[in-house]
Structure formats: structure tokens, C-alpha cells
Structure 1
Amino acid sequence: MKYLLLTATLLALLLSHPAQAQSADEQAAQKAWMDYMTPGDMHKMLAKSDGEWTFAMTSWMSPNSEPMKSTGSTVNHMILGGRYQESRHTGNIMDMPFEGIGTLGYDNAKKVFVSSWVDNMGTGIMHMEGQWDEASQAINFTGKAFDPITGKDYDVKEVFKWVDDNTQQMEMYTVVDGKEVKNMEITFTRK
């Protein structure tokens, strides 16, 4: 909370002074904040996915297990002045109602995509960061998730691909016995 108040106070001070009355350091700080807070091309790219989607998901509990299939709906919309895309997912997984909320953004300062995920199948928050790959039209995310069975975090990788304007694909991988294993794939189709 202290960081939030300090950030808001600093930003208000920087923006309230005319540029000619500011020192070079103050002008540089103001420019850095404006660059950091202004949505750009990557945010516009995310906004193109706003709307209603359906999804078909295949997941595996372990590498040799039978795949589980489920379907559901997703609604995407940009929030906070076009800075982040919120995705709300509903469906059924293993005959249980499923709800999940994802937040996807682009950090102008770090030059990376940022993602968070929460759902009703746990009580933690998964965070990931990733780079855009123009050749594959995908964001390659890496991060950590928590395993309540072992009580430890584990590495996760997600590849989120724009197939076309009406189709997206997501693949999720975990590391099992030192090997990267796909544990989920989802195809999203625009309604």
C-alpha cells in the first residue's frame, strides 16, 4: 500500500508541474512514467481479442494418462484504460463447475508480456512473463505454479498463439522428472 501511495503522489507531482519549470531529471522522470503508463501497439493487439469465445480443452493428469476433455466459454475485455485484458472463463472440468480469471498485459518498461491466473480449483495466483515471437505469432510465457501435493513451486511454460482473427491456441507445459511435458491444450474460437 505504501508503494501505491508513493507512486500516485510522485506521479501527481510530476504531472502537475509545467515542463519548463522542471529540472532535466524531473522531465526525464515524467517522460519515463508517461511511456510506462501509455498503452501501445501490443495493447492494441490484445484488444483485437475482445469479445466472446468458446473453448475446447484437453488435459492430462500425467504423461501416460488418458486425456480429459472439457468445453466452456470465455469473455475477453480490455480494462484500466486499455492497459490489460481481462479474460473470464466458465465451464465444467471433471464434472465440476469451473471459473477462472486471467489478466494479460504488456509491460512497456520491461518489454515483456505479463500474465496472472486465478480459478476456483485453487487459492493461489500464477504469474508468468513472456516474449512475443513474430515468426510463430505466439507469446512464449514462463513462470511458476504451486503443487499442493509436494508443497513446492514448479516451473511452467505456456505458448499462447494467434492462429487467425477468430482462433487462438494455448499449450501448457510442466517439468516432470527433468523433462518438459504438455499437460494442457486449449483451442479458443470466437463466437
Structure 2
Amino acid sequence: MKNLIATLALSLLCFTSCKKDIKADVNSPMIPDTVTAEETATEAPLDSAAQMQAWQAYATPGNPHKLMADEVGTWNCDMTFWADADAKPEKATSAADIKMILGGRYQEANYKGTMMGQPFEGKSTLAYNNASNEYTTTFIDNMGTGMMVAIGKYDEKTKSMELKGDMVNPLNGKKTPYREVYTIVDARTRKMEMFDVKNGKEYKSMEIVMTKK
């Protein structure tokens, strides 16, 4: 990575210098470039055995995937929403069917219920990346056409996962940050809290208490 940054910085410096030279000698005849670029050091290639070992480690489910597998089953979801920090809470219910897919490497959850008097259906995926040591979650539903993507890490002490991402506000078309906190309350209870930003301030916009059937 350091080599890549150094290369980009060197390229930018050369580009800037060339622009200055062109501006200074715009009426001068073209002079052949005689500057020889310094070769940058390259990373030593891994042998085939090391490459295979690295890919196996990347592809093999571990303890974080076992943590996700503990949630396989059907969950009742008690949902509470707030339009802004001072708004009255609104309630909704849904059920989530959670399973592991692709050899236990990813978690998939399918939600069905009623929201604002309308049928609600959503789908989420959860992944743990062995290479980056991070969780990634995605969410889509029938209430919009966008995809929410957030990345974060799990804290063993608090039994919670904090994930951060951006979403496009359909009212103005601008990206706004959001934060999700997912807590393992006990073996049969989970709590998901969503925090949005409005007028430059973060507020709690949603809470889902999940109880396993």
C-alpha cells in the first residue's frame, strides 16, 4: 500500500511539474523528454503454496460465521420508528426468516410484515470478511429502490456490532450518514437501533426488538 501511495504521489508531482513547464514555455519548440522515471520497488510475489494458504484462510468460515449461524430460525420483530428527534413513535411488526447461505459464509434474512398500513417485505445480507476483519451488511425492501450498505466491527465486551454507512435521502437526493447498532441481548433476543442525521444532528430513527420463536 505504501508503494502504491508513493507511486501515485510521484505521478501527481510529475503531472503538476509538466503543467508548469508547458505554461512557461508555451511558445517554445517541443523538447524531447529525457527524464528517466525511477523504478519503484515491487512486492515480492508469493509462491503458489502461500497463495493457496491465503485464499483458503479467506474462504474458510470461522468463529464470526458461527456467531451469525446462531441466529438461524424465525424471529418476531417489534419495530418502533421516529420521523425526527421530537416525533411520536410509530409501531409496526414483522417476522424475519434467517438462514446461512453459500456454505455458511453469509447470513440472509427475509422480512415480511406490515408498515404504515402497507405490506412490507425486505431482505438483508450479513458478511464477515476474513481479510479485512470487518462485517458488511446490506438491506433492500419494497419501500424504495436503493440499497443500504454499512460496514463495522463486533465488540465482544458489549456483545454489539456498530456499522456505519451512507444512504440517499429521497427528499433531496443527497447522501446522509447513518449508524446501526446491533446488540446480542441474550440467546433468544436481539436489538437493532438505527441512527439517522437530520439538520446536522444524529437522532434515533428506528429500534427493532427481535425475539426468536
Structure 1 outlier segments of 4+, above 6 Å: none
SS in 1 for 2:47: helix
Paired residue for 2:70, among 41, 44, 48? 48
Superimposed CA distance per residue, residues 126-153 of structure 1 (whole angstroms, 9 cap, x where no aligned partner): 1111111112101100011111111011
CA positional deviation for 1:61 = 1.3
Structure richer in strand, relative to its length: 1
Residue identity opposite 1:85 in structure 2: Q
Paired residue for 1:97, among 99, 119, 124? 119
Superimposed CA distance per residue, residues 137-191 of structure 1 (whole angstroms, 9 cap, x where no aligned partner): 0110001111111101110100000001100000000122222110000000001
SS in 2 for 1:151: coil
Residue identity opposite 1:139 in structure 2: M
> After the TM superposition, which of the residue ranges 126-135 and 163-172 deviates more from structure 2?
126-135
| Unaligned segments of structure 1, at least 5 residues | 1-22
Show the counterpart of 1:160. Answer: 182
CA positional deviation for 1:24 = 4.8
Looking at CA atoms only, which structure, 1 or 2, has the larger radius of gyration?
A: 2
Show the counterpart of 1:73. Answer: 95
In structure 2, C-alpha distance between the alignment counterparts of 1:170 and 1:109, rounded to whole Å: 26
| Unaligned segments of structure 2, at least 5 residues | 1-44
> What's the C-alpha RMSD, in Å, of the aligned pairs?
1.1
Identity of aligned residues (%): 42
| 1:171 and 2:188 correspond | no
Question: What is the total number of aligned residue pairs between the two structures?
Answer: 169
TM value normalised by structure 1: 0.86
